[in-house]
Chains A and B, each alone.
Chain A
Amino acid sequence: MMSGAPAVRVSIESSCERQVQEVSLDGLETYAPPLSMSQNLAKLAQRIDFGQSSDEDEDGPERDSREQWSKPEAEEDEGMVKFQPSLWPWDSVRNNLRSSLTEMCVLHDVLSVLKDKKYMTLDPVSQDPSVGKTPQVFQLLSKKKSLATAAQLLLRGAEKLTKSVVENQEQRRQRDFNSELLRLRSQWKLRKVGDKILGDLSYRSAGSMFPHHGTFEVIKNTDLDLDKKIPDDYCPLNVQIPSELEGSAYIKVSIQKQSPDIGDLGTVNLFRRQAKAKPGSQMWHLKLEAAQNVLLCKEIFAQLSREAVQIKSQIPHIVVKNQIISQPFPGLQLSISLCHSTGEKKNQRASPDKSKPDDHLYVLEHNLHQLIREFHKQTLSSVVMPHPASAPFSHKRLRMAGPMAYDKAEISSLQQSEGLLEKIIKQAKHIFLRSRTARTIDSLASRIEDPQIQAHWSNINDVYESSVKVLITSQGYEQICKSIQLQLNIGVEQIRVVHRDGRVITLSHQEQELQDFLLSQMSQHQVHAVQQLAKVMGWHVLSFSNHVGLGPIESIGNASAITVASPNGEYAISVRNGPESGCKVLVQFPRSQAKELPKSDVVQDGKWTHLRGPYKEVHWGRMEGRNFVYKMELLMAALTPCP
């Protein structure tokens, strides 16, 4: 029982309602005298029907009547347990009240017993004196311990969680490594040796005979900090390439004027281009490709230097460190160098002539790559496979050379005629000759306006041969004067010129020869133009010579001359044109127009005055007209009087 709880006052009072015996006329109520104890008991006892149980239903009216009586009596009487038959609608109420009565009675009994203090006493509960007075340290320690236990539990749980997360990540990374490995394997040759995964980046499976092993190793990239964010270019796979193949390389082929100083050779180490990273390609792919390129460049250079040393040529090739120098033409040098940069910072000696424009012949570098791949392909062709199978590997026709008794001509046709170096030198010579020819023609075209020189280069050409069609024309008269058309076939060392009239001339590589030849053709063109013009204008050609033997000797070619007469025969024009001496135009007038005519006794008749007589030179420079043929046309027109 709690002390201090708000008490609920339960008032219990007897209803004290006595039966009204009678009501006097003056309103006085006379109450029936209350029943005494014994009378009450007797009355109640009469009511008990011992023949009936308490649960049985009773008759209605009986019940009702009893109900009226029992209720007040139940309230009056305390401490008496009554056997009552259950009264249905008020049963629960009665039961509740009865139970509360029981409780109250018990309480009353206990209190009354307690009052006596003889058989029961109230005693407060003894408290532990230490509880209220525990020191702070102990509190702290206990709190700490409990916290520690809780924390340990939590930590264990967290550990399990992180372990599972890490395992998942690890698995994912493992799967990533495997998928990367799959991608690597789809492009590169791999094999497992022990517990290492090795790969082959050499060209041996494509037919190369280079003795480099070209092995790379595939390693797992485990230097990943899980806490930090995974970088974007993170790759779980890494490749380790041999140290001599690191970095990138290319072969530089260039033609320069022969350098007087030979001491600077072998230091070509210009490096100016970086491999462009293709989007989506992994780092290992780039690394492997770069290493493979370095290997191929090394093979090309090794082959070239081997040939440079072995093959005898008129002017020996110089092989210095990473450069091969040879002389294709006098005064020129061709240098082929292997430029290998290991990607270190620029602590290399800068090339002295950095300001020179890049004369790297990319075409030749590409051709070198193609040639070496062609070479690889040859070793893989089935021509090498022996039939019968026990014979050694060799070219099919070479194997037959012995038994079939091939003579020297047949054998030499089988042997390798040219190595890589010879081919590249030939190609370089051709490129140089072609560019020089173009330059010559262009410089002439820009320098000389009359006549005009046109060059039509053919689109399709060979590595060793190109061709160009050169036309010499006069502006405005292209249809008339087209007799000089030259087809130039530029070879490796010579230029072959085919003239329209069928002559074939072979020019050497000297620049001056071509220039002189073109100049002489241009001078011939002028005279040819006069001939064509005469046809159109109706003038008659009296004489024509491509190479006149008279007059001053030209140092380049020969002078040409032509004489044309007007339609009516009165006038004649003589032209002499030479490459150096320029053109000289003379007009022949009829005798009648001559100022001083020598009197002669023989020629008396007047009709002789119509013949052509003395010559007079034309001041050609002062003639009107934009070019020679135009001037000539004007002259002819002027000398043709209108009818």
Chain B
Amino acid sequence: MGVTCVCQVPVSEGKSVQQTVDILHKKLEQLGAVKQGNFWVDCETYHATGNATGQPSKLLYVMHNSETPLSCMALFEGGPGLSADANFDVLMVKLKSHFQNAKGHKVESRGVRYRYCDFLVKIGTVAMSSSARGISVEVEYCACVIPGDCWNLMKEFMQSFLGSNTPELPTVFTSKAEGLSVPVDCMDTMSQYLELFGRVRKQQVLPGSGVR
């Protein structure tokens, strides 16, 4: 578990999602990264049924990450979150009369995992109901847990293959009350993914993306 930064890479002009992903793969392989299996991150949406007041009910997002196979993360957008073991899904099934699973809103990102010394780069295709909507890139620097100490190094590394698409310091870290010297948590990674998935959901269907 190291400092993680998740960003979205826009699809290159005139190219499909798959082609952009392939370009990124090539760049990484040229850099000297080694393929190390696949990864996936998914997110399911639950909303509370039977809200007495007319307020829109808060949405509960339940996310899974192949890096942490025994865990299940539940969070509210901008709100509190928790990480639990896999039985949380069973509990959500029991709660189905109170929380409905919006199946059409399930978003997931799947792709290849590259390792370059202490960096772990995951390039995934974000898909919603099996139509590719975007590209997610996650860069993890495994050797450090304090974002303030290694952000510059990470930015430089990302610039080497992302070029102009390099993101800024994620708001997850800057919005923390204790600042950048606090160790990271798995919830930070998931919050970033949630943000990305939210943006992807709001986007319209990309032209020419087709079925993955």
Contact = CB atoms under 8 A, between A and B. Distances in A.
Contacts of B82: 403
B209 interface: no
A401 interface: yes
With most chain B CB atoms within 10 A of its CB, the pick from A401, A407, A411 is A407
A401 B65 CA distance: 13
Nearest to B2: A407
Contact of B69 (A403, A404, A408): A408
A401 B72 CA distance: 11
A407 B1 contact: yes
A80 interface: no
A611 to B, nearest CB: 61
B71 A402 contact: yes
A401 B67 contact: no
Nearest to B73: A405
With most chain A CB atoms within 10 A of its CB, the pick from B67, B69, B70, B87 is B70
A188 interface: no
B93 interface: no
A406 interface: yes
Interface string A399-427: 10111111110010000000000000000
Contacts of A404: 71, 83
Interface in B70-119: 70-73, 82-87
A403 B85 CA distance: 6
Nearest 5 Cβ contacts at the A-B interface: A402-B85, A405-B186, A405-B68, A405-B71, A401-B70
B83 A403 contact: yes
Given A402-B84, A403-B83, A405-B65, 14 more contacts: A401-B70, A401-B71, A401-B85, A402-B72, A402-B85, A402-B87, A403-B82, A405-B68, A405-B71, A405-B83, A406-B70, A407-B67, A407-B68, A411-B69
20 contacts: A399-B85, A401-B71, A402-B70, A402-B83, A402-B85, A402-B86, A403-B71, A403-B83, A403-B85, A404-B71, A405-B1, A405-B65, A405-B68, A405-B73, A406-B71, A407-B1, A407-B67, A408-B69, A411-B69, A411-B70
B88 to A, nearest CB: 8
A487 B186 CA distance: 48
Interface of B: 1, 65, 67-73, 82-87, 186
Contacts of B87: 402
With most chain B CB atoms within 10 A of its CB, the pick from A399, A403, A405, A411 is A405
Nearest to B120: A407
A102 B203 CA distance: 168
B16 to A, nearest CB: 31
B68 A403 contact: no
Give the secondary structure class of A's interface. Answer: loop
Interface size class of A (residues with CB under 8 A): 10 to 19
A407 B85 CA distance: 13
A404 B82 CA distance: 10
A375 to B, nearest CB: 23
Nearest to A404: B83
B46 to A, nearest CB: 19
Interface of A: 399, 401-408, 411
Contacts of B72: 402
Contacts of A405: 1, 65, 68, 71, 73, 83, 186
A227 to B, nearest CB: 72
A399 B83 CA distance: 12
Nearest to B65: A405
A403 B87 CA distance: 11
A404 B187 CA distance: 10
B91 to A, nearest CB: 12
A403 B84 contact: yes
Contacts of A406: 68, 70-71
A397 to B, nearest CB: 11
Contacts of A403: 71, 82-85
Nearest to B189: A405
Nearest to A400: B85
Contacts of A407: 1, 67-68
Contacts of A402: 70-72, 83-87
A411 B83 CA distance: 16
A390 to B, nearest CB: 14
Nearest to A414: B70
Nearest to B190: A405
A579 to B, nearest CB: 43
Contacts of A408: 67, 69
Nearest to B67: A407
Nearest to B37: A408
Contacts of A411: 69-70
Nearest to B186: A405
B191 to A, nearest CB: 13
A229 to B, nearest CB: 70
A36 to B, nearest CB: 160
B114 to A, nearest CB: 16
Nearest to B82: A403
Contacts of B69: 408, 411
A488 B69 CA distance: 42
With most chain B CB atoms within 10 A of its CB, the pick from A401, A403, A408, A411 is A403
Nearest to A407: B67
With most chain B CB atoms within 10 A of its CB, the pick from A399, A402, A404, A406 is A402
A520 to B, nearest CB: 38
B176 to A, nearest CB: 18
A407 B69 CA distance: 7
A408 B37 CA distance: 12
Contacts of B71: 401-406
With most chain A CB atoms within 10 A of its CB, the pick from B65, B68, B84 is B68
Contacts of B1: 405, 407
Contacts of B67: 407-408
Contacts of B70: 401-402, 406, 411
Nearest to A394: B85
A412 B38 CA distance: 18
Contacts of B68: 405-407
A406 B82 CA distance: 14
A73 to B, nearest CB: 148
Contacts of B65: 405
Contacts of A399: 85
A38 B195 CA distance: 182
A215 B82 CA distance: 48
A280 B30 CA distance: 80
B134 to A, nearest CB: 25
